[in-house]
Amino acid sequence: MNEHSHSMTFNQFNPITNIFIFCAVSMHCISYVRSNTQ
């Protein structure tokens, strides 16, 4: 029962984690391009 509940909460937070990773990668790419442009 506990494992099932934990699995459901993990699936619920999965999209949020994906968005956080996407934002982190985007910020890294922007800073990388800026440093290359300069």
pLDDT one-digit tens code per residue, 17-27:
888 989 999 99
pLDDT one-digit tens code per residue, 1-38:
556 555 555 556 678 888 898 999 999 999 999 999 87
Q: What is the pTM of this model?
A: 0.52
CA distance linking residue 20 with residue 13, whole number of Å: 11
Domain ranges of the chain: 1-38
pLDDT of residue 33: 94
pLDDT of residue 6: 57
Q: How many CB atoms lie within 10 A of CB 31?
A: 10
Amino acid at 31: S
SS3 label, residue 38: coil
Output Rg (C-alpha) for the chain, integer angstroms. Answer: 16
pLDDT of residue 25: 94
* Nearest one of 33, 14, 34, 10 to 22, comparing CA atoms: 14
